[in-house]
Structure 1
Amino acid sequence: MPTEPASRRYMRHQSIWLADDGWSVEVVDQARLPAEWVTRRLCSPGDVLSAMSGGSLQGPGLIAVAAAYALALAARRDPDMVPVMTAWHALAALDPRCPRLRGVLDRMREVLDVTPPADRSVRAYDEANAIAMEDLAANLAIGRHAMGLLRRIGAGGGGGLPQTVLLLSEPGWLSGVGWGTASAGLFLAQEQVDLRQATGGVLGEDVAPPHVVTIGPLAAWEMVEAGIPHSPCDMEGAADLIRRQVVERVLVAALRAVPRGDSLVPAGMGGLVRLARAGGIPVHVCLPAAAINWQGLTMAPVPGLDILPLSLIDGFVTDRGTCPPAVGALSERFPDHEPVHGTDTSAANDA
């Protein structure tokens, strides 16, 4: 469908929601940012697939949630499982080895399989809404767990001077229902400062987020929107800052991971992480449990993405807290997930 101007008040940190009619889906059109702010209304699974292929929907978390809503749209049009599964297969083909997308699609299918056709549409929307709220809550939790680290950074290092963080996340909150992963703590820190100023020091905190170096236009737009001091940069410029020791910490939004900790990031970011580690700059990877392929033992290469081995990571920030860079640490943090043992499922785990 063609894009249309936003008809509702802009809501910070929310990139997808049900429209006022209660069934169609509205999203922030990332393809039009940062030049202009518009939303796009999606009324069918085909609209969702078009938005994904056209760049209006970007980011593994957002794509997974949008896929859930696409199945709800399919069930609303025809509650029979044949057309619903037609949409399921089209969505699964986007990235069959992505744990977030496949996990959401399988969850929706299991729910709809046991729901009578007369109730299938309502049940599909209920489940899609639940998936969206879980994504939002997981990202917010990551931000809260990152606050301790960011408080120390924002307070200044060596002599109380402001510190600079390289944010390897493009985009941030736009890539999920809201908040983002590596960016969530930055937004929370800035909102605490805003709250303190608005209440005359009664509420909130006065430790501002550090200066942020961003990669790409959407990440820079998010920092401008939130009022966070930042410097937009490209890969080459970020590498130069790392070499000159201007950057003092790196926050990475992992696209996917396996239980041992090896993670996947966009192409080029792996080189920046290696450069940072060679210079003694700490690297922290942020990811929710949904981004971990619990059936994977090793990370297979994926075109257009870089692998970050565990040896390059100084720590993880998850929706259940922080983890050291040790084999088994993520599994211990999420004991309800049981990684496979004894067999390598690399053919299906390049998550």
Structure 2
Amino acid sequence: MRHQSIWLADDGWGVEVIDQTGLPAQCQIRRVASVGEVLGAIVGGVVRGPGLISVLAGYGLALAARRDPDIVPVMTAWHALSATDPRCPRLRGVLDRMREVLDVTPPAERAHRAYMEADAIAAEELAGNLAIGRHAMGMLRRVGAGGGDGKPQTLLLAAEPGWLSSVGWGAASAGLFLAQEQVDLRRATGGVLGEDIAPPQVVTIGPLAAWEMVEAGIPHSPCDLDGALDLVRRGVVERLFVAAIRASARGDVLVPAGTGDLARAAKVAGAPLHVCLPAAAINWQALGPGTITAPGTDILPLSLITGFITDRGPVAAEADALLDRFPDHEPMSIGELPAANDA
């Protein structure tokens, strides 16, 4: 693993994160040691991205249990953390999972058990995005080979940022990082190990995505959203990788503002658009876009998506394709929905 954005401090209970507010000019580590500091880091933009925020929230409940293992203050922390983004399936999934564990754990063991569960959640977040990257590798090999003339295609990475917004692998950029590791390994061993992958020409949007590419040694061309849109419209970009904030069970995808314009331009230009989508980011009770929307974002309908790359492999951009690939996440019927006071 090249990078890490969140970890336990040397004392074994404090949590340390990379402060994204100082990047790309300065990389600083911020320590959070209370629920209040976790909330401040989320609201203040020290940590960004639903994956990283959800993992930090899990550790936030562990910090709450360490300070006072009684279930009342722990649940007070649960409510405060869930209020930061009530519609985020990843955040709600993590907090509900932590609550279920803490509910059945004796107070004397609650803090220790909370840290164990938060560690497991962080490891699963890491593994999920790494799996997406591995599934994307085959696609990148084809992209790197070009259209038969040997010239690498130009790929637009519409994700800002990548691994910084997760634990250590970004959903949309993990494939690029894995490909670069193969190139580095081949160079370091004189061609004995590693694959000879012809990397695509990568265009990134925003300073943090560019910083990540520089840190990994991945050749890229940075630009802003307007510049990326111009490249797509002119046909320079031949393929797009998009990171989803969240999605409905039928494949409507919530993305940062401006990504919708990129997707529509890609549709006109005939450039495939692939959404990198962890299962944890899917709201399995949402069968349409109405319950996943958020201010300052766009919704991508299935008509603009070529396909999904999930932690279980590629999925077609069809209404029930995600449900078919994840049968263990069948949506609840109306009668099974929790009561309002249980939500």
Tell me what 1:115 maps to: 105
Q: Could you say what secondary structure the match of 2:221 adopts?
A: strand
Unaligned runs of 5+ in 2: none
Q: Give TM-score, length-normalised by structure 1.
A: 0.93
SS at match of 2:271: coil
Residue 76 in 1 paired to residue 58 in 2? Answer: no
Which residue matches 1:145?
135
In 1: Cα distance, 2:112 partner to 2:294 partner: 37
Gap change, CA 1:78 and 1:307, over 3 Å in 2: same
Q: Greater CA deviation, 260-269 or 156-165?
A: 156-165
Return 181-190 or 327-336, whichever deviates more.
Answer: 327-336
Inter-partner Cα distance in structure 1 for 2:40 and 2:140: 38
Question: Is 2:300 the counterpart of 1:331?
Answer: no
Give the whole-Å Cα distance in 1 for the aligned partners of 2:176 and 2:198: 9
Contact 2:102 2:110 in 1 (8 A): yes
Aligned residues: 335
Residue in 2 that maps onto 1:12: 2
- Unpaired runs of at least 5, structure 1: 1-10
1:42-99 Cα shifts (integer Å, max 9, x gaps): 1111111111122110000000000000000010011011111111111111011110
Residue by residue over 1:249-295, the C-alpha shift from the partner in whole angstroms, topping out at 9 and shown as x without a partner, is 00000110011111000011111111111111100000110000001
**Structure 1 residue corresponding to 2:278, chosen from 269, 288, 302:** 288
Secondary structure of 1:205's aligned partner: coil
Q: Which residue of 1 aligns with 2:24?
A: 34
Write the mapping of 1:115-194 to structure 2, written as runs, cut at 5 A: 115-194=105-184
User: For 1:222-261, what aligned pairs fall within 5 Å after superposition?
Assistant: 222-261=212-251
The answer to whether the 8 A contact 2:186-2:196 is kept is yes
1:303 aligns with 2:286: no
Q: Distance in 2 between matches of 1:157 and 1:220?
A: 26
The residue type paired with residue 203 of structure 1 is L
Deviation (angstroms), 1:341? 5.1
Give the counterpart of 2:92 among 65, 89, 102: 102
| Equivalent AA in structure 2 for residue 292 of structure 1 | I
Aligned letter for 1:226? A
Q: Contact between 2:155 and 2:203, CA under 8 Å: does it hold in 1?
A: yes
- Tell me what 2:306 maps to: 314
Separation of aligned partners in 1, 2:222 and 2:88: 29
Shift of 1:37: 1.2
Once residues 71 and 40 of structure 2 are traced to their aligned partners in structure 1, the CA distance between those partners, rounded to angstroms, is 22
Percentage of identical aligned residues: 74
AA of the residue aligned to 1:339? P
Could you tell me which of 202, 212, 215 is aligned with 1:212?
202
What is the alpha-carbon root mean square deviation over aligned residues?
1.4
Counterpart CA distance in 2 for 1:197 and 1:116 is 53
**Distance (Å, rounded) in 1 between the aligned partners of 2:196 and 2:37:** 44
Show structure 1 runs of 4+ deviating over 6 A.
none
Q: Give the counterpart letter for 2:322 in structure 1.
A: L
Q: Tell me if structure 1 keeps the 8 A contact 2:52–2:167.
A: yes
Deviation per residue, 1:308-332 (Å, 9 max, x gap): 0011110100000001111111111
Q: Distance in 2 between matches of 1:305 and 1:76?
A: 36
- Contact 2:152/2:199 (<8 A) preserved: no
Partner residue in 2 for 1:5: none
1:132-162 Cα offsets, whole Å, 9 max, x none, are: 0000000000000000000111122241112
Counterpart of 1:160 in 2: which secondary structure? coil
The residue type equivalent to 1:13 in the other structure is: H
Question: CA 1:56–1:216 in structure 2 vs 1: closer, same or farther (change >3 Å)?
Answer: same
Query: Normalising to structure 2: TM-score of the pair?
Result: 0.95
Letter paired with 1:126: M
| Letter matched to residue 153 of structure 1 | V
Query: Which residue identity is paired with 1:105?
Result: L
CA displacement 1:159-189 (0-9 Å, x = unmatched)? 1112111111011001111111010100000
Corresponding letter in the other structure for 2:25: A
Q: CA deviation at 1:248?
A: 0.4
1:48 is matched with: 38
